[in-house]
Structure 1
Amino acid sequence: MIYNSIIDTIGNTPMVRLNRLAKGIKGEVLVKVEYFNPGNSMKDRMAIKMVEDAEKAGILKPGGTIIEGTSGNTGMGLALAAVAKGYKCIFTMADKQSKEKIDILRAVGAEVVVCPTNVTPDDPRSYYSVARKLNRDIPNSFYPNQYDNLSNAAAHYETTGPEIWKDTEGRITHYAAGVGTGGSMCGTAKYLKEQNPGIVTVGIDTYGSVFKKYKETGIFDEKEVYPYLTEGIGEDILPKNVDFSLINHFIKVTDKDAAVMTRRLAREEGLFVGWSCGSAVHGALEYAKEHLKEGDVMVIILPDHGTRYLGKVYNDEWMRNHGFLEDKNFSTARDIIAQRSGTYHLLSVKKTDSVKEAITVMNTKSISQIPVLDGEEVVGSLTDNKLLSKIIDNPQLKDATVGEVMEPSMKFVALDSTLDVLSSMVEKEKAVLVRDALDKIHIITKHDILEAFTN
């Protein structure tokens, strides 16, 4: 068959049975391998749908510029559509994304603006905010906004869902997928549940994301939000494409478990896939072990290709440096705080305290950094060297309130963050914070990490 352009080859990706990894699980476990799309990911489906719907609505006009915030794969799909249809592209990305993703986008003619990861979504520096500003400033530009653009979910309702139903001849009983923008999970789930309301849908989330708790409690808990490494799933916002009524269960997967499973998919099944694919398979198999029975058919979406992650999960040195290989010390933040007595109390100062009072606390307790609280919420921090610099420049600041001189808050990390991850974070930040199982806040410093390495 001869196609008019590369975008005409999107869809109809193969379904493959898991053999070694699903050994011992009752029922059948299948994966839909989305890296067979021309942009090597399932995001090609929704990218072309968003572009064509915008053209029909008159929002995207000839010679226009497509501007989007992306973790890489949506950008690639949009870039292919732009090449085929004659548009320009500008993409904003968080700096945690792999170098390969950035290089690939630039290779297909896109301009890439890299933004900081560890800022809130409404911060003007976030990749969401920068994309919106570029859209406002550049004439004849189109901001698809994959998170809230319902063409995203519609693409999967129209293509992915019907393909899965056809390929399994209607035998599918369970559908599992990572949840990021929500389009692939919810668009596909909507179609499948219309065919058979009894199909169970399992959303895969990551630690540091708000989805699982929101589904189970209806509460958007900012305490759930902290930095994580896995790319492409989880969010610190609630995208409009995430319809929680279509997701029966959520399972959270750690960065480490996802990375290890990604490599196992390549070595044991010959599936050279991306990091969030490891998340999806690890979480889905954990669910399958407990719940699948004879005759059940589970389908798991594998969103993208391993070439996006050659410098990360497929790089032994990177894996070793993050504590993801077996020859590393797997002590975690949980282990560090387990060594502390039950009377542990976080040393802190209030936002309304005077700088003099804060200095007294830091000197008395011989500490170089301290969190700042507003009620029970951590809102900032003080470090002795930066505080000293400010007072030298302006001695009157010693009579100011802590809120006037404080620095940004220390970052929260997951309880199961390994020593390697903790070490890399305190090098980039300062100390880090972690909540234990009782919601008590602990601080972890370089000294704590060094001590853990020597135990």
Structure 2
Amino acid sequence: MKYAENILGTIGNTPLVKMNALVKDVDALVLAKYETFNPGNSVKDRMALQMIEDAEADGRLQPGGTIIEGTSGNTGMGLALAAIVKGYKLVCVMADKQSKEKMDILRAVGAKVMVCPTNVEPDDPRSYYSVSKRLAEETPNSWYVNQYDNPSNTKAHYQSTGPEIWEQTDGKVTHFIVGVGTGGTISGVGKYLKEQNPNIKVWGVDTYGSVFKKYHETGIFDENEIYSYVTEGIGEDILPKNVDFSIIDGFTKVTDKDAAVYTQRLAKEEGMFLGNSAGAAIKGVLQLKEHFKKDDVVVVLFHDHGSRYVGKMFNDDWMRDRGFLDEEVSTVADLIKGRVDKPLITVKTEELVSHAIERMRKHQISQLPVVDSEGIVGAVDESILFSAFLDDKHLGNTPIKDIMKEAYPIIDEQTSLEKLSSLIKDGNTAVLIKNNAGAYHIVTKYDVISNIN
């Protein structure tokens, strides 16, 4: 009989899958190293087990101990599987940009999850790096994994992923391309492959808001390059020790939009239901296609499974809200179709200015149509309120009718964007759209510019 002793025995030996539709214009054979076949559905299972076994061997992790790690979710899942089998507790510290599905999955396998803000400096005490370290110092019999600087991360891929790719391609691999986060995958695989054939090219996929590409090309750690981004699992605002830049031949950067769009395209055109970093990786391959020749064998590694992004990259409302959907917008109906079920927020003529301010604050808006029993009769916006406040510091108890201006122009759903833009350009801070059912929606400058790709 053939069977694994436990779930950890199924890690590794993932298949290579030929890419077809998305790479039809690439003059090379493109093969995907499909890591979702690991039991935790990601490449991180490999290094999670290696890091635990190495920590057990040298005494850093004691029986019954608590494993603590900052993770984007996938490493946490790999650690959780090993913790279950080996009898450890697990605390995962995550940034709030990670998908809800990742957090729910970790809780489902027994991990305690702590969520920290994304948009803070790495050394900020609120960052998930800092919180992880603090918890490890405060928790008895605990071990802080630190996948970014833990050499067992790279070791796992040097000993397993790299040899698998070499064997599966019969030594014919010419390029290896992968998204870079902690750096363990690209450094471990790259080191092994280049030892077999130093002519193999190793390329990293980076994201805008991350420091890797510029640092590799110039040696400069540019803090001005660091800003918040949507893409999950790749890019960093630090330089992990696992990123061996001497092994990497170059980086290409992929936008948040392209990563999200190509994540959807992988599912719809290749039947590959994968995570956000896979979208970035395949777009990176396409951006590098001039580097490939007809007989080349390009291996691109796909990190994780699409089930962790159902509420994000596979949700059209989420995509639309961020301007990631390439939808044709020619009329105002196209502009507002993502919020046709949302009621128009208004203020009545006899209500007080304080009521209008509270409504603007609550709904985070800057304009309010004014209504009476007959319908829409005026408008107020933040500039009117500001000017009125300069004249009267006790403005709050003033009726809206005393400071409102004339009503916004009203157009129908089939009005062109050019006409809408001209009305806003003529000095109107907003325009009202009346649909066929008689309901109103408001459109502002922001609605127009948010559809600029």
Match of 1:127 in 2: 128
Shift of 1:454: 9.6
Shift of 1:293: 0.7
1:60-75 → structure 2 map (5 Å cutoff):
60-75=61-76
Match of 1:298 in 2: 298
Q: Distance in 2 between matches of 1:38 and 1:312?
A: 23
Equivalent position amino acid for 1:117 in 2: T
Q: Distance in 1 between matches of 2:254 and 2:448?
A: 28
Match of 1:56 in 2: 57
User: Is 1:452 matched up with 2:443?
Assistant: no
Match of 1:215 in 2: 216
Equivalent position amino acid for 1:311 in 2: G
Question: 2:323·2:451 contact (CA, 8 Å) conserved in 1?
Answer: no
Equivalent position amino acid for 1:104 in 2: I
The answer for unaligned runs of 5 or more in structure 2 is 331-385, 387-443
Match of 1:115 in 2: 116
Equivalent position amino acid for 2:203 in 1: V
Match of 1:395 in 2: none
1:137-156 → structure 2 map (5 Å cutoff):
137-156=138-157
Match of 1:417 in 2: none
The secondary structure found in structure 1 opposite 2:32 is strand
User: Is 1:206 matched up with 2:186?
Assistant: no
Deviations 1:247-285 (A, max 9, x none): 101000001101111111111111100000000110112
User: Is 1:276 matched up with 2:274?
Assistant: no
* Seq. identity, %: 64
Shift of 1:184: 0.4
Normalized against structure 1, the TM-score is what?
Answer: 0.73
Q: Distance in 2 between matches of 1:96 and 1:275?
A: 13
Match of 1:326 in 2: 326
Question: 2:136·2:142 contact (CA, 8 Å) conserved in 1?
Answer: yes
1:17-416 → structure 2 map (5 Å cutoff):
17-288=18-289, 290-327=290-327
The 1:287–1:63 alpha-carbon spacing in structure 2 relative to 1, beyond 3 Å, is same
Equivalent position amino acid for 1:200 in 2: K
Q: Distance in 2 between matches of 1:286 and 1:184?
A: 21
Shift of 1:329: 6.4
Question: 2:323·2:450 contact (CA, 8 Å) conserved in 1?
Answer: no
Q: Distance in 2 between matches of 1:203 and 1:214?
A: 12
Q: Distance in 1 between matches of 2:102 and 2:449?
A: 35
Shift of 1:326: 1.4
Matched residues, number = 343
The secondary structure found in structure 1 opposite 2:234 is coil
Question: 1:320·1:328 contact (CA, 8 Å) conserved in 2?
Answer: no
Shift of 1:328: 6.6
Which entry has the higher C-alpha Rg, 1 or 2?
A: 2
The secondary structure found in structure 1 opposite 2:21 is coil
Q: Distance in 2 between matches of 1:162 and 1:329?
A: 49
Q: Distance in 2 between matches of 1:97 and 1:282?
A: 21
RMSD (CA atoms):
2.0
Q: Distance in 2 between matches of 1:454 and 1:185?
A: 36
Equivalent position amino acid for 1:322 in 2: R
Question: 1:323·1:329 contact (CA, 8 Å) conserved in 2?
Answer: no
The 1:168–1:315 alpha-carbon spacing in structure 2 relative to 1, beyond 3 Å, is same
Deviations 1:43-64 (A, max 9, x none): 0000000000000001101000
Q: Distance in 2 between matches of 1:197 and 1:295?
A: 17
